Amino acid sequence: MRRVVLVELILFAVTAALVVPFGIAYVAGPRAFGDPIRVHAEMVDAFGLTAGTSVTYRGVQVGRVASVLLAGNGSGARVEVELDPGTRIPRASAATVTMGTVAGLQNVDIVPDPDSAVVSGGGPYLGDGDEVAAPAERQPVQMGEVMGETARLLAGVDPGAVATVGDEVGAALSGVGPDLARMIDDGDRLSAVIERQAPTLRSLAERTVSVAGSAAGAADGFERSVGAARTVSGQLGDASELVEHLLGRSPAALARTRALFDGEAGTFGALLADLASVTPVVADRRAAVAAGLVDIPVGLGKLESIVRGDRAEFALVGTQGPVCGYDTPRRTVGDMTPVTPDLTLFCPPGPDVAQRGSRTAPRPNGLGTGQATTPGTVIGPPMVSDPVLIPTGVEALDQWNRLLDDLEHRGR
């Protein structure tokens, strides 16, 4: 029995050691195992605060009011506040008296200054003896003051004027009941339509905002456009006589143009059809057309150098010699995408192969002849030692005439 009693005593001691502190903390709160943080606030009016009034921080209870006394100089009230141990409240905070419940119970709410850099944490925090600011402009208006202002407002209202207003409103609404009912019904139908079209209206509003933003971004361009329009209008005003002359002559010119198009309708249609066939071909060769428009005038200028009087002298070389070529796949017309050059291709050296291949072409990164592993194909007849010049028809005729003249002179 003694062993059982000893075990029970041990269990009772362990249970008491666990339960008693928990019970003390539950009854006494956070202050059971630490000293509270004592701060104070100076207020012009204590607003009926008493000892035991709850103190909150961001709406969470963190302490209570310890006492409310008159300030030393008699100009206000000094509210002593005890905060729970370990509570961290930034010093840049303000105390405001609020209604904690709908029953009208007051409490002191401490709110950090939104303009302070310490709101996000990091201190400094309130400690023993610190003062919490309580600006008068942030305190609530007393119910007595509200009632007094209300009484003065009602005293300034003339009952006779109120009666007159009521009579006039009644006279104005007399007999318009059906119209008001129709207005209410129309408003109900309009609300239903707006509700059904809400997605469309929302999209329209969003697009309107987008268009307004784009217009605001293009304000400078709009101003320049208006300025250009003003300049054009001024120039048209200065040339008003010429414009009137053109307007007077235009109908006759347009009539002649119309007659021309009517007479050539078939030809014009065929021309448009042919252009529809030619346009895709030319479109794929825009680069070649642009180069031709640049080079053709230059070539025509160079052709002037072979003109001798009323003749053009041509010399045709009948033999060319071998040519080195690469078997390279051809790309479609109009394909302008970049390609990577094949640096392995080269022309093998040989007699009379005058073409410049990749073996002698400049190479990037100092490659020289490195990686030149794929030789090109040499095609064509060998180079002759004495090329034959083929004369033109005029030169052949002159040569024939000279031959006849020689024969005639020798016959004499």
Question: What is the structure's pLDDT at 81?
Answer: 92
Least Cα distance to 90 among 63, 66, 122, 58 occurs for: 122
Distances (CA, A) of 256 to 245, 259, 261, 263, 270: 17, 5, 9, 11, 21
For residues 28 and 39, membership in a common domain is answered with: no
pLDDT(49) > 80: yes
pLDDT in tens, 286-320: 888 888 888 888 887 777 777 777 777 766 655 56
Residues 41 and 37: their CA atoms lie apart, in Å, by: 13
Question: What is the structure's pLDDT at 180?
Answer: 83
For residues 91 and 104, membership in a common domain is answered with: yes
For residues 72 and 48, membership in a common domain is answered with: yes
For residues 11 and 76, membership in a common domain is answered with: no
pLDDT in tens, 211-243: 777 777 777 777 777 788 888 888 878 877 877
Domain residues for the domain of 23 are: 1-33
Residues 105 and 208: their CA atoms lie apart, in Å, by: 50
Question: What is the structure's pLDDT at 107?
Answer: 86
DSSP secondary structure string for all residues of 102-157? TT--EEEEEEE-TT-TTTTS---B--TT-B-B--GGGSPPPHHHHHHHHHHHHHTS
Distances (CA, A) of 22 to 18, 19, 32: 7, 5, 10
Least Cα distance to 324 among 301, 345, 293, 355 occurs for: 355
Residues 259 and 213: their CA atoms lie apart, in Å, by: 50
For residues 84 and 28, membership in a common domain is answered with: no
**Helix, strand, coil % (nearest 5) of the chain?**
50, 15, 35
- Domain finish residue from 141, 171, 187: 141
If one counts the domains in the chain, the total is 2
pTM above 0.85, yes or no: no
Give the chain's radius of gyration (CA, Å): 53
- Domain finish residue from 119, 141, 163: 141
Question: What is the structure's pLDDT at 362?
Answer: 60
State the number of CA atoms in the 13 A half-sphere of 247 facing the CB.
Answer: 7
Q: Answer positive or negative: Cα dihedral of 349, 354, 357, 363.
A: positive
Question: What is the structure's pLDDT at 334?
Answer: 74
- Give the DSSP H/E element, type plus range, for residue 390: strand 389-390
Distances (CA, A) of 187 to 111, 175, 191, 197, 204: 45, 20, 6, 15, 22
